[in-house]
Amino acid sequence: MPGIEEPLALSRYSEAFEDFAGRSSAVVIHRQDVLNEFLGATDRHFDLRARTLSGGGQVFGGLTSMGSFSHLSQTWLWSWANPNFSWDDPAIAPLRALYDHGVQQGIVEFTTGHIDFSEFPNPHQAATTMALAAAYLLGGNGCWSCRINDGKGSAYIHLDDPQIPEATYSHIATPRLLMTAAEVFPANPKLIVQGYIARYGTRYKESPDVVAGDMVDGGELAVRFDEHGRIAAISCSASRS
pTM of this structure: 0.93
Burial tier of 10 (Cβ tally within 10 Å: 0-12, 13-18, 19+): buried
Distance in angstroms (rounded) separating the CA atoms of residues 204 and 214: 7
CA separation for the pair 133, 239 (Å, rounded): 30
**184 vs 129: CA distance, rounded Å:** 9
Distance of alpha carbon 77 from the chain centroid: 16
User: Where does the pLDDT of residue 185 fall: very low under 50, low under 70, confident under 90, or very high at 90 and above?
Assistant: very high
pLDDT in tens, 17-71: 999 999 999 999 999 999 999 999 999 999 999 999 999 999 999 999 999 999 9
**pLDDT per position as a tens digit, 103-114:** 999 999 999 999
Pairing state between β 52-55 and 45-47: antiparallel
Give per-residue pLDDT as tens, 219-237: 999 999 999 999 999 999 8
Residues 147 and 145: their CA atoms lie apart, in Å, by: 7
- Residue 240 is predicted with a pLDDT of 64
CA 184/CA 89 separation, integer angstroms? 33
Query: How far is 83 from 141, CA to CA, in rounded Å?
Result: 27
| Residue 81 predicted with pLDDT over 80 | yes
Where would I find the H helices in 94-171? 95-105, 108-111, 123-135
Mean pLDDT along residues 145-167 = 97
Q: Are 189 and 177 in contact (CB under 8 A)?
A: no
CB atoms within 10 A of CB 48: 18
Residue 198: pLDDT band (50, 70, 90) is very high
- Residue 1's pLDDT band, with cuts at 50, 70 and 90, is very low
